[in-house]
């Protein structure tokens, strides 16, 4: 019997009494490819942080491959939406990616770890920058490095919070190609506002706005969601902030 990559049962979460997630029931099977969409402040990033054990829900149960989130971290990769680090830090691109290979105290990075990190950099076409200090990268290049850091973990569940922010169209194409290969090896969760593009690639879509409004096959999303796609393509591509979801 194979375990689900993620099982959330009746999960609620609030930041200082402000309810952000309410009774979320959400299952991701092995090798699922799911996009999470929803308006700003809908709780998408919060949900990922719960899966990573960075936040603890007020109630409900979270299991990642049948384990507590904090006990499953060696199976999970993460690309954060925002990073908090100092770009002027003495670290180069390769070392940054290598951090994705961390597997515990007193464990040196092996030559295999280094190869995997290098391959991850090749996958995002950043190999030639591997010795560059991170403050000397453009925003999109930095984003690629962080994608590589998440890939280098070789996770069974890969969580990516708006990976395509500041990535150019050409790289976006190769990114979707890359993850279509990754699909046989892991479950993928992608937070995105670009509903149009995402729906062409993913198998399932989850709409999150405090509650989970829809979770199912992308093509069966029905009229409502088509409407949503339509609206989001038109408006998001014009850079106008817009509520992606209908009011429920």
Partner 1 sequence: MFEFIQYDFMQRAFIAAILVSVACGAVGTYVVIKKIVSMSGAISHAAFGGVGLGYLLGVNPVVAAIPFSIVAALSMGAVQEKVKISEDTAIGILWSVGMALGIIFVNLKSGYAPDLFSYLFGSILTVSNTDLYIMLVLDLIILMVVFLFRREFMGVSFDEEFSKVVGLPSTLINMLLLALIALSVVVLIKVVGIILLIALLAIPAAICKQYTYDIHKLMISSTIIGAILTSLGLILAFIFNLSSGATIILVLGAALFISYFIHE
Ligand X SMILES: Nc1ncnc2c1ncn2[C@@H]1O[C@H](COP(=O)(O)OP(=O)(O)OP(=O)(O)O)[C@@H](O)[C@H]1O
Q: From residue 239, how far is each of 42, 131, 160 by CA, in Å?
A: 19, 35, 22
Restricting to residues 43-72, which ones interact with partner 1 according to CB under 8 A?
52-54, 70
Rounded to a whole number of angstroms, the distance between the first and last alpha carbons of the chain is 37
Q: Is residue 46 at the binding interface for ligand X, with CB under 6 A as the rule?
A: yes
Is residue 105 part of the contact set for partner 1 (CB under 8 A)?
Answer: yes
Per partner kind, with CB cut-offs from 5 to 8 A, the member of partner 1, Mg ion, ligand X, none near residue 239 is none
Q: Is 241 in the site for ligand X (CB under 6 A)?
A: no
Among 7, 34, 35, 45, binds ligand X (CB under 6 A): 45
Q: Is 41 in the site for ligand X (CB under 6 A)?
A: yes
CA distance 117 to 170: 22
Binding pattern for the stretch 142-181 against partner 1, x by CB under 8 A and - elsewhere = -------x---x----------------------------
Other Cβ atoms less than 10 A from the Cβ of 97: the count is 28
* Cβ atoms < 10 Å from Cβ of 203: 16
Q: CA–CA separation, 20 vs 31, rounded Å?
A: 28
* Cβ neighbours of residue 72 closer than 8 Å, sequence gap 6 or more: 64, 65, 157
Among 2, 16, 18, 106, binds partner 1 (CB under 8 A): 106
- CA nearest 147: which of 173, 169, 117? 117
Of 1 and 105, which has the nearer Cβ to partner 1?
Answer: 105
Q: Is 163 in the site for ligand X (CB under 6 A)?
A: no
Binding flag, residue 40, partner 1 (CB under 8 A): no
Binding site for Mg ion (CB under 5 A): 44-45, 81
Residue 141 partner contact from partner 1, ligand X, Mg ion, none using kind-dependent CB cut-offs of 5 to 8 Å: none
Decide: residue 235, CB within 10 A, 0-12 exposed, 13-18 middle, 19+ buried: middle
- Is residue 43 a contact point for ligand X (CB under 6 A)? yes
């Amino acid at each position: 019997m194979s375990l689900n990559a993620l099982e959330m049962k009746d999960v609620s979460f609030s930041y200082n009494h402000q309810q952000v997630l309410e009774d979320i029931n959400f299952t991701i099977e092995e090798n699922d490819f799911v996009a999470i969409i929803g308006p700003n402040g809908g709780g998408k990033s919060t949900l990922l942080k719960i899966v990573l054990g960075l936040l603890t829900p007020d109630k409900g149960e979270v299991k990642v491959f049948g384990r507590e989130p904090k006990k499953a971290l060696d199976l999970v990769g993460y690309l954060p939406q925002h990073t908090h680090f100092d770009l002027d830090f003495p670290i180069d691109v390769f070392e940054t990616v290598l951090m994705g290979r961390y597997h515990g105290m007193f464990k040196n990075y092996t030559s295999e770890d280094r190869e995997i990190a290098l391959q991850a950099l090749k996958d995002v076409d950043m190999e030639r920058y591997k010795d560059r200090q991170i403050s000397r990268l453009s925003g999109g290049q930095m984003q690629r490095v962080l994608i590589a850091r998440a890939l280098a973990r070789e996770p069974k569940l890969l969580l990516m919070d708006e990976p395509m922010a500041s990535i150019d169209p050409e790289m976006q194409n190769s990114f979707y190609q890359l993850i279509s290969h990754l699909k046989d090896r892991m479950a993928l969760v992608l937070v995105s506002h670009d509903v149009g593009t995402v729906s062409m690639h993913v198998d399932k879509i989850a709409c999150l706005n405090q509650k989970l409004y829809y979770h199912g096959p992308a093509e069966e999303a029905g009229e409502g969601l088509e409407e949503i796609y339509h609206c989001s393509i038109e408006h998001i591509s014009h850079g106008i902030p817009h509520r992606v979801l209908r009011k429920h």
